[in-house]
Structure 1
């Protein structure tokens, strides 16, 4: 092979390498853009204090027509938005939610609050809804009426969109029975207003208990006084997305308690001294 042919071959190979690199970079850029579009469409726009539409009609796991407001009877509600044909994320979220509830002391799903799960897929097969409901409720302990305390609802696209828009829940349909959606549960007040968003696959029992107490305005469980004391010691950190001890509140609460004790002690000593003086009572 002559030097000229070798030079020509080297130039061709270089051009082919550059072309391959450009094509690979273009493919990666296209894939990255598509992925970015999906990620941009999935998330939560928090609408704290927003009223959810309680008049929305749905169908429960038994095929019974219900309204969302049927489950708001004076107790806070945990609202989850999932889909029942989800292969992994949603079943894991259900199992973790049950584990979290089992770790809460002083509150019971059977007495103090409800969970309502609504599917974001308007094409849910009824048999899948029933099967997923049965699988999830088999994990519950000591719930007398699981159908009423944790229903699995499905509905039409217009109703689903009204609910998800009201709470700021953004999701993307990737294909038939395949959705990308955030992992979040919503705490709803007994009046149907959004009180708190809790994020992640595993929510600490303490955070869920505090969110329930907060959503109920302290009117839940055995003692409203203890609930108010607990809420005074914790606050929700919007950056860390969890409840944290409020040092200033704890110090103020402790100072108030000490002040009350000292005031009571002074009053007792003053009355005792008054009785000892000549002309005092007793």
Structure 2
């Protein structure tokens, strides 16, 4: 089922007028709105109460979506399974922007996609809450009264544990590497990275033109140059030490 949905990703297009992509220069590092959300249990809680001191991915969808939302969810799920770090490095909230979605609709969607309702859950809100949250992320969508469906961009948003926008990830299936790097970037706000994590993050640079991470050759050049300089200096110091030792020994013999 999931493989079929991923194949359909190449065929899925957004109907209606094109959407402006989020204004990253304006919205990056902004805190999203801490709205009241409805959970699968039928309870209303604050969005931030669902955060678990880890970076969190917000995936805007709606449960009645006939095509794109299923493809997006399948793509995200596939990349997350490839990483194998859901719950460890980040958690996910699928956010329904359909005000008509009920707790039962959320439960059905969660069951269909086998969410654990802990590290990956689905919530919604009322009309005002939906508008407030999506506007705080600069996420645009439009309701088509003819088809009774929503036209929307294919974006997920990486937030820090404090609810700040750290990265927008575009496309039907965000790359596993991009998810990992954006999660590491978000993690820095509340915790220091390990040596390996820090080095890995520095090896890649976010390219806003493509919305993905690319290998940073300039960093590699700097590392290699630094190692060469260190090596040369070490050789020179060692030779100077040998020359001094030889000179002292010669002086003692005479």
The normalised TM-score by structure 1 is 0.74
Shift of 1:177: 5.3
Shift of 1:268: 5.0
Equivalent in 160, 168, 175 of residue 138 of structure 2 = 168
8 Å CA contact 2:38, 2:103 repeated in 1: no
Query: 1:50-69 maps to which residues of 2 (within 5 A)?
Result: 50-54=30-34, 56-69=35-48
- Is there any run of 5+ residues in structure 2 with no aligned partner, and where? 1-14
Partner residue in 1 for 2:3: none
- Who wins on radius of gyration, i.e. which is larger? 1
Partner residue in 2 for 1:200: 171
Equivalent in 226, 247, 251 of residue 256 of structure 1 = 226
Q: 1:109 to 1:268 in 2, by over 3 A?
A: farther
Q: Distance in 2 between matches of 1:256 and 1:239?
A: 30
* Bigger proportion of residues as helix: 1
8 Å CA contact 2:160, 2:189 repeated in 1: no
The normalised TM-score by structure 2 is 0.81
8 Å CA contact 2:19, 2:153 repeated in 1: no
Equivalent in 234, 242, 246 of residue 204 of structure 2 = 234
Q: Distance in 2 between matches of 1:70 and 1:64?
A: 12
**How large is the Cα RMSD of the aligned pairs?**
2.7
Q: Is 1:72 aligned with 2:51?
A: yes
128-137 or 209-218, which deviates more = 209-218
SS of aligned partner of 2:206: strand
Following TM superposition, the consecutive aligned residue runs of length 4 or more in structure 1 with deviations greater than 6 angstroms are: 218-221
- Is there any run of 5+ residues in structure 1 with no aligned partner, and where? 1-36, 139-145
Partner residue in 1 for 2:79: 100
Q: Which string of whole-angstrom CA distances, capped at 9 and with x for unpartnered residues, describes residues 10-48 of structure 1? A: xxxxxxxxxxxxxxxxxxxxxxxxxxx941556534311
8 Å CA contact 1:71, 1:114 repeated in 2: no
Query: 1:29-68 maps to which residues of 2 (within 5 A)?
Result: 38-40=16-18, 43-46=21-24, 47-54=27-34, 56-68=35-47
Q: Is 1:133 aligned with 2:113?
A: no
Q: Which string of whole-angstrom CA distances, capped at 9 and with x for unpartnered residues, describes residues 180-210 of structure 1? A: 1110010111221111111110222111111
Shift of 1:179: 0.8
SS of aligned partner of 2:248: coil
Q: Distance in 2 between matches of 1:173 and 1:49?
A: 29
Partner residue in 2 for 1:21: none
